[in-house]
Amino acid sequence: MRFLSFNEINRLPKALENSKDKRGADVIRLCPLTGSHLCEVRFTHFEQFNLELLTWFKPATYTKQKRSHRLPISPEVADLVVRRHLSYQNPAPGGFRETFQTNPFMKCDVIGKAS
């Protein structure tokens, strides 16, 4: 595992914008916007977000500390969550999770374009 270089960080927004893997790009966007780990984002459900109060409830099963966590989200995060939810063709209980699950992080095509 390695960190992105400054040059890669500068190229990342364009790579995310141009990525064909929109789910993977949104996962990568959501991690730094919320300070969340990849698995916390990938296994989230739409029902965990309260878009009126701008909060995200993360159950203990998906957090590093194994403790449930409620955190505030920005309007930008709320917009991303709504966009992902609307992009899912057959919303159903737990269906939101399918909109964030994607290939393993290192296989996401965005990473190759940013490096």
CA distance 63 to 78: 20
Residues sharing a CB contact under 8 Å with residue 77, sequence separation 6 or more, in sequence order: 30, 33, 34, 54, 56
Given this model, what pLDDT does residue 75 score?
97
31-44 confidence digits (pLDDT tens): 889 998 887 888 88
Domains of the chain, by residue range, sit at 22-114
32-78 confidence digits (pLDDT tens): 899 988 878 888 888 899 999 999 998 888 777 888 999 999 999 99
Q: Look up residue 47 and give its DSSP letter.
A: G
